[in-house]
Structure 1
């Protein structure tokens, strides 16, 4: 197995560890943005996508900061290989034409919304689809403490804190919104409140509150970066 990783930060290194667990003999290449960037043991660095044109790549992982995803997608599509894209795809709709091209080309892609694989959520989706019981209310919540996400790193400087890099809970923490769309479909309307006035003192949105109207019921979604005791819940009132 030969895999290209675009972006070699903390998330990419987790993917690399998982790949080696699946296939210890996997050949892993990393497309780097600069020669002086820290390397990863056993990973071959390349600095231009043209260096591997014509080489069979089983799939590519895009794990750059969100604001770099579009550039990474443009580079990766030249390889005509399946793409695993860290969520979200991008932080603006500027990527729409590239996404359409990928979809029309038939290239296999997957955005890393991994909560869809949780047994609990798969159970809920099946129950919603098969029970025939009316849903009255849905409440989804995710709160965690951004300063503790990455040890020994100034949280104010990571992409999550910087709007221009795709930071903010409304973009960064999309799992709850994704699984509600997956389970219940597209709501009829959405009302939202986005704020960044917490004690964290960052410019990116650190609190988001959505009310999603499905006609027969409403789903509430609350996301934040400042909750010290991590909490992630889903409540459905039948």
Structure 2
């Protein structure tokens, strides 16, 4: 009002586009429903993109964004920092080396209590609690879906089933718990269980293979190989700072930008995971 601007959308869009043209890289770390709109604006300005997960809360505009990135040769990544956790990277390398033999199943679980997640903020008014802003544990827990697809080398999904709902007493608009199952073309069975309800933070990964099971628990930061005859600690991280995976992720992205090399989780890849999550909501 002080500036006597009446058409806010038009004026702000022009201003933002002009400002963005000064930059090489833009980080989109806003509520889920704003990601694509803001990313398109940045891409039109010629900026490389780091988009926080999830890519979006639906599929609208994603193909347009990707087309702009291809035309302008923009490096882009969807921020899935769990891929940079040293234990999960070890599991990925172990599976790719085929040391576990044929893989039968991959399971991921993550749970935490939503009211504890962001101290000082009313959880019921946060984006996670609202449908209109792309909230809900399925999209908040997309890390686990991403890890499942990543560990299985993005093998094509043959069947999938989601069961979810409001099973707790949080009084939010969105689902607070989900159990999802997948059957892939390579016959691997995948499962994801996530919720906003666990009083104690929990995050695990279990891979069942021909030569044993690999198991990881966030609280231990140890990868175990369990067989009929032994439980063997095959990898461990000591004195690890959780912020390191975010640092490593940004270093990786910036190296890709400097070397004009596409990332391992660009828009086209993240869309493969997102489409299952949004189609079930």
TM-score tier after normalising by the smaller chain length: 0.7 to 0.9
Q: Which residue of 2 aligns with 1:118?
A: 85
Q: Which residue of 2 aligns with 1:41?
A: none
Instruction: Provide Cα deviations, 1:71-117, integer angstroms capped at 9, x if missing partner.
Output: 21122112202111011111011122323323422211110001111
Write the distance in 1 (CA, Å) between the matches of 2:47 and 2:208: 43
| 1:199 aligns to 2:160 (yes or no) | no
Write the distance in 2 (CA, Å) between the matches of 1:149 and 1:70: 25
Task: Give the direction of change, closer, same or farther, for the CA distance of 1:50–1:220 in structure 2 (3 Å limit).
Answer: closer
Q: Which residue of 2 aligns with 1:209?
A: 179
DSSP 3-state at the match of 1:212: strand
User: Within 5 Å, which residues of 2 pair with 1:1-238?
Assistant: 48-52=15-19, 54-55=21-22, 57-105=23-71, 106-131=73-98, 133-184=101-152, 185-186=154-155, 187-214=157-184, 215-238=186-209
Instruction: Provide Cα deviations, 1:197-224, integer angstroms capped at 9, x if missing partner.
Output: 3111211111111111125331111010
DSSP 3-state at the match of 2:106: strand
Write the distance in 2 (CA, Å) between the matches of 1:229 and 1:222: 15
Residue 103 of structure 2 contacts residue 207 of structure 2 at CA under 8 Å; is this kept in 1?
yes
Residue 27 of structure 2 contacts residue 50 of structure 2 at CA under 8 Å; is this kept in 1?
yes
Unaligned runs of 5+ residues in structure 2 are 1-7, 210-281
Aligned residues: 193
Q: Give the superposed CA RMSD.
A: 2.0
DSSP 3-state at the match of 2:103: coil
Higher relative contact order (CA 8 A, sep 6+): 2
Give the Å deviation of 1:70.
2.1
Instruction: Provide the TM-score with structure 2 as the length reference.
Output: 0.64
Give the Å deviation of 1:157.
0.5
227-236 or 120-129, which moves further after superposition? 120-129
Write the distance in 1 (CA, Å) between the matches of 2:182 and 2:69: 27
Q: Which residue of 1 aligns with 2:229?
A: none
Unaligned runs of 5+ residues in structure 1 are 1-33, 35-45
Task: Give the direction of change, closer, same or farther, for the CA distance of 1:148–1:53 in structure 2 (3 Å limit).
Answer: closer
DSSP 3-state at the match of 1:176: helix
Residue 40 of structure 2 contacts residue 65 of structure 2 at CA under 8 Å; is this kept in 1?
no
Write the distance in 1 (CA, Å) between the matches of 2:188 and 2:37: 40
